[in-house]
């Protein structure tokens, strides 16, 4: 069974979306804080991580803590999808842009308003 880490600081939203994945047969590990996400990435055998871009403060336009987590070299072997309500061209470039001698931090960048699919 594939294990997905799903991290978002909005508990109701995370619980609802995680349920969609569980119905499809995935095991979902939920992280409601940046610290929980980091701990699960370190301790669990995660096949892919879905990370909200703003894990600390949704009202802070400078908060890219989820993206910073995706950029952490300690987790470079885990594919990551960045999920956000606050898309910017700069964040997309940071998440998906080419890097010298390494993979980009994320394999995909999704907007929450695109729906559960």
> Which helix (H) or strand (E) element contains residue 70?
helix 65-71
* CA nearest neighbour of 109 among 96, 100, 97, 98: 96
CA-CA distance, 49 to 44, in Å (whole number)? 11
**In the predicted model, what is the mean pLDDT of residues 12-17?**
94
| Stretch 41-59: mean pLDDT | 91
What is the overall mean pLDDT for the chain?
87
The pTM of the full predicted model, rounded to 2 decimals, is 0.87
């Amino acid at each position: 069974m594939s294990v997905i880490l799903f991290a978002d600081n909005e508990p109701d939203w995370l619980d609802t979306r995680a349920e969609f994945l569980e119905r499809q047969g995935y095991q979902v590990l939920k992280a409601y804080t940046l610290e929980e996400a980091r701990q699960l990435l370190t301790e669990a055998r995660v096949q892919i991580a879905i990370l909200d871009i703003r894990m600390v403060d949704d009202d802070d336009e400078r908060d890219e803590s989820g993206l910073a987590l995706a950029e952490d070299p300690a987790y470079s072997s885990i594919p990551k999808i960045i999920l956000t309500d606050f898309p910017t061209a700069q964040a997309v470039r940071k998440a998906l842009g080419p890097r010298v001698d390494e993979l980009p931090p994320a394999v995909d960048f999704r907007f929450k308003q695109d729906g559960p699919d």
